[in-house]
Structures are given as C-alpha cells and as structure tokens.
Structure 1
Amino acid sequence: MSTSPDTTAIASSLAKNQLYLDCYKSMQKDKLQLPTIPDVAFKIRRAINDQTANNAKIARVVQIDPAITARLIRIANSPLYRGRRKIESCPEALTRIGLKAAQDIITSFAMKAVFQAKTPAIRKKMTDLWAHSSYVAAISAVLAHKIPGFDPDKAMLAGLIHDIGVVPILTHADKRPEIIDNPKDLVETVRKLRVDIGLQILRKWDFPQDFEDVIINAENWYRDNDGPPDYADIVMISQLHSFIGKIDIKKMPKIDQLPAFRKLASGGLTIDASIGILDMAKEEIEQIRLMLH
C-alpha cells in the first residue's frame, strides 16, 4: 500500500524531532516523568473516600492547608453555591458543597502545583497552559451549572485536566532544552502524544473513566456518539468559547454545527445562551478563575 506525500512528510518530520523521539521512547518504557497528584489533594481525597469519615474529620484534614480552606469557604459563598447565610467555617463549607464536590474542587485548587518549570521559555509555556486550562475549567463549570444532569465541580476539574498530557512533554523539554531544534517540534510532539500521556496520568491518579473520555475527545470536534451528553462535550464547547478573541475563530468549527452542541441543546442550552455565556456569566467565570489561581 502506498503512502501519501503528507504521511511521508509527517513521518520524516517526526524522525527528526528529538523531543518527540525522547518522549515517545520514555513513554513506551514507562520512564517518562509523570506528575504526581499534589499531596494535599491525595490526603483529602483519601479522607473523603473513607467510609468512616464525617465532615468534622475531613475538615481537620482540609484545614492542614489554610490556603485551600480559605478558597473552599470562598467557593461555598460564590454564585455557584451561595445560600441565605454566609459560610465562615470549613465544616459548614463541606456541608453546603457536599463531600464529592469538595473532592473535585480541592483537587482543582491543588492542580496548579503540577504546572511548574525552571527554564524561562518552558515556564512561559507552562504558565500559558495553566491559563488556558483554568479558563476552560471556569467556562465548563458555568456551562454545567446551566444544564441539568451535570456537576459544575466535576466539570471544572474536567476542564483543568483536558490538556494534562502536555505537562510531561514540557517537563521533559525543561530538562533538555537543547533537543528542541525549532518551535514546531513541541507543537508536533504535543499533537502526537498529548492523549496517550494524559491517559497514563489519569490512570496513575485513579481518576474515573469519564475523565479519560475528556482527554481523548476534548478536540474531537465532530465526535458523534449515541450516548447522552457528557463532560467531554462540555469541555469541547468550553474550549471553543475560550478561543474567542485569541485565535482566528473562522478557522474553528461553528458551535451550532457540532454534535456535542446538539446534545447539550437537548438539555436546554440554546445557541444564544451558549454564545453569550462569556458576557452573561463574565463575573462568575472570573471568580472561578481567581479561586483557581
């Protein structure tokens, strides 16, 4: 079977891409440095999943980290959860939010520690990656809040991890900056390995199966499956929203033409509400972004 000129060109380009070759070989040998879930998030997830735990016991674990405690209280008083009275303590915040939701929120708060680098060039790319991921996370939370059947906190975490597979690639480049011959090497490596590496990370972190679907399908624009709308659909639409004003939107698919949007529309999301989400929920999105930062 003959290969097309495009396929041959891609294969030739990858053969010259030392970053890709290094990452691919390390991944195949299970030697690529994968990020570990931040210690505080691990301890809190373990406490929440303890069958004998109650809010007071879990609150004691959460309060080991005052910064996370303060942010949890802030989100309990945010528009996503705001009740009739102001929450002022960690146990009260856990009661209002719920333990499973708190688990996703706290993991989200701790995620920023994963996006670190030493060399200026890679640090800038890691910062940009976090900014994009947290923006998609905020939009995902707001969209999920408006569509029945979705958990805004799980949607926020899904938005944060949709590009987590890029982190080990940047970490590898951070250690060996000399192997990147040109900027296209990094773009090419991310495009080819982002999904496979991301899945390895989620399995290492013991995340649910539907988070894997998010990584696989976050940019699979014309994915058309028979199931109900899912978090991959939420993150995909949120990504398109996040690109507005940042890239040539004419090069991206139109939201109302995507199967994901049609599925979400069946849950009550209209095209006007979707397109206007950045304006209508601007303050809400910004609050979530600030809490994540």
Structure 2
Amino acid sequence: MSTLVETVKQDIIDALNNDQLVLPSLPEVALQVRETAEDPEATIADLTQIISRDGALSARIIRVVNSPLLRAPQEVRDLAMAVSRLGMNYTSNLAIGLAMEQMFQATTDMIDKRMRQLWRLTGQVSAMASVLARHSGIAKPDEAILAALIHRLGALPILTYAEERDDLIQDNITLGQVIDQLHGGLGGVILEKWDFPSNLCQVPREYRKFDREPDEGDLTDLITVANLIVLADSTSGWARKDWEEVTAFARLRLPADREDPIFAEFTEKAAEAQAAFL
C-alpha cells in the first residue's frame, strides 16, 4: 500500500478522533420529516405539508409512487395522494433517504463527479434492494431503500477532505483506496450521530463482510446482495467475488449461482424502477 494512502488514512482518523473531521449534517427537511413521523399526534396532512416545502423532493416521491416499484393502479398526480398511498412510515423513510442527495455536491469538478457517481450507484442499489426485500420478505421495501441510500454515506467526509488536497484530487486510485478502507466505519459514526436505529448504523460497517453469520437475514444482507447483483458486470472488486463464499444468499433463500435466471429477473425489475432514484 502506498505511503500516501496510509498518510491520508491516518490524517482522517486523527481528525475524527479529535472532532476535527467535518461530518455531514442530516438535511433540515429530513430532520423535520423524521420528527413528524415519530410524533404520535402527527397526521398524513402534517407530513405532506413538511415535504411540500421542498419541490424537488416532492417530485421525486411522486415519481417513486408512479414507478414500477409500486405499480399504482392509477397515476398519482400530487404529493397528498402520494403520501396517502405510501403511508407515514414508507413516506418518511423514502423522504429521509432521497433528501440526502443534496449532500452529494462538491466545489471541484473531479470530486463533484465522484459524488454524482456515488449517488447514482446508491440509487441503483436502492432499486435492487427494494426488489430483494419484496422477494425475500426480510424487510419492508422502504427500509431497504433507506438502508441502500445511506450505505456509502461515509465516503462524503473523505471526499470533502480530498477537496482541500490537490494530490488526492489528481490521484483517483489513492482516493478510491482511502474511501474503500474508511467509508464503512465513518458511515456508522455519521448515522449514530444522527440517532439512526442500530440496524441501519450496522449496514455501512458490515455490508462488505461476506462471511457474516447473524441468526437470520437482515437489512445488511439485502445491501450486500444488492451490491453484488448491481456490480456483477463492473470493473470493481465486487464483480470478482465468488458468490459461493457469501453467506447472505442462504439467509435470503437465494441461489449463489450468478447465472441463475432469477437474477436476470431481479435486474430487469430494478432497471425499470431505478429511474425514480436517479
């Protein structure tokens, strides 16, 4: 491993330990959505009012409701109808996840490009995770979508740090290695700071642990398998992973043979739906 990778890793770890690393804050609209959803006195109308203040988020939620993910019997034309159809929990999870897109922006072209690529990947994984959740029954689709949208969140403070270093901006390989090694732990720290449930905080830390042995299938399994399917034909290390070595397939009651027709079916369903997230 290069000296630069080790130096940058240590700098980031030291900054984190000394409370000097800039961690992203949960977007204001996401905070308001969560507070409203957790209020036992709140109504669908209250949640709709909060989301309606963000036009882009409102439009995205309507797109999801009209996407093949939900296959609404009739077209949903406004936010009130969309929220009513989804319900409080589904809407809040979806809104919180989609609101995070605003954090995936940078001031330099190279880092901005990486952030947009990262958001695109999380969107693809979200669509696949939703398909897997419906098939397996391991979790609700909205929980799977939220888990997917936050599973690589730890890359953001690293990319923000890189904007201040020309050597990293120009060295794509080194930056990629640092992100690969640190984003899981950082993601868990960010989600704990945001008071997310423990099962979601676990996802970024463990979704790349292919030999996990929990008692039953969970959100982390869904995100692991979703990444393997989405990245099966990519140039990343995920494409080279032997699925027989990944314990999550058994817990999701799926074959570990990547040539099995079921995965082509999942890919087709996810491809139809992923435009709602991109």
TM-score by length of 2: 0.89
State the alpha-carbon separation in 2 of the partners of residues 189 and 214 from structure 1: 19
Q: Are residues 1:81 and 2:66 paired?
A: no
State the alpha-carbon separation in 2 of the partners of residues 186 and 273 from structure 1: 30
State the alpha-carbon separation in 1 of the partners of residues 5 and 225 from structure 2: 35
**Bigger mean CA deviation after superposition, 166-175 or 15-24:** 15-24
- One-letter amino acid of the structure 2 residue matched with residue 280 of structure 1: E
State the alpha-carbon separation in 1 of the partners of residues 35 and 263 from structure 2: 35
Judge conservation of contact 2:33–2:47 (CA < 8 Å) in 1: yes
Q: Which runs of 5+ in 2 are unaligned?
A: none
Q: Which whole-Å deviations, capped at 9, do the CAs of 1:127-169 have from their partners, x for residues lacking one?
A: 2222222211211111111112421111111112111111100
Q: 2:270 is matched with which residue: 272, 275, 285?
A: 285
Q: 1:35 is matched with which residue: 24, 33, 38?
A: 24
Superposed CA RMSD in Å reads 2.6
TM-score by length of 1: 0.84
**Could you tell me how far 1:80 is from its partner in structure 2?**
2.6
Q: 1:191 to 1:250 in 2, by over 3 A?
A: closer
Q: Are residues 1:169 and 2:158 paired?
A: yes
State the alpha-carbon separation in 2 of the partners of residues 147 and 129 from structure 1: 26
Judge conservation of contact 1:17–1:185 (CA < 8 Å) in 2: no
3-state DSSP of counterpart to 1:175: coil
Judge conservation of contact 1:18–1:179 (CA < 8 Å) in 2: no
Q: 1:8-87 maps to which residues of 2 (within 5 A)? A: 13=2, 17-87=6-76
Judge conservation of contact 2:111–2:169 (CA < 8 Å) in 1: no
**Could you tell me how far 1:181 is from its partner in structure 2?**
8.2
Q: 1:19 to 1:252 in 2, by over 3 A?
A: same
Q: 1:234 is matched with which residue: 219, 222, 234?
A: 222
User: Between the two proteins, what is the percent identity of the paired residues?
Assistant: 29
State the alpha-carbon separation in 1 of the partners of residues 190 and 108 from structure 2: 23
Q: Give the number of aligned pairs.
A: 278
State the alpha-carbon separation in 2 of the partners of residues 249 and 276 from structure 1: 23
2:97 counterpart residue number = 108
Q: Which runs of 4+ in 1 moved over 6 A?
A: 248-251
Q: Which runs of 5+ in 1 are unaligned?
A: 1-9
1:5 counterpart residue number = none
**Could you tell me how far 1:230 is from its partner in structure 2?**
0.3
Q: 2:116 is matched with which residue: 119, 124, 127?
A: 127
**Could you tell me how far 1:285 is from its partner in structure 2?**
2.1
State the alpha-carbon separation in 1 of the partners of residues 167 and 245 from structure 2: 43
**Could you tell me how far 1:121 is from its partner in structure 2?**
2.1
Q: 1:164 to 1:248 in 2, by over 3 A?
A: closer
3-state DSSP of counterpart to 1:164: coil
**Could you tell me how far 1:201 is from its partner in structure 2?**
0.6
State the alpha-carbon separation in 2 of the partners of residues 146 and 274 from structure 1: 18
Judge conservation of contact 1:105–1:153 (CA < 8 Å) in 2: yes
**Could you tell me how far 1:243 is from its partner in structure 2?**
1.5
Judge conservation of contact 1:14–1:20 (CA < 8 Å) in 2: no
Q: 1:153-192 maps to which residues of 2 (within 5 A)? A: 153-178=142-167, 182-192=171-181
Q: Which has the larger radius of gyration?
A: 1
Q: 2:186 is matched with which residue: 182, 197, 215?
A: 197
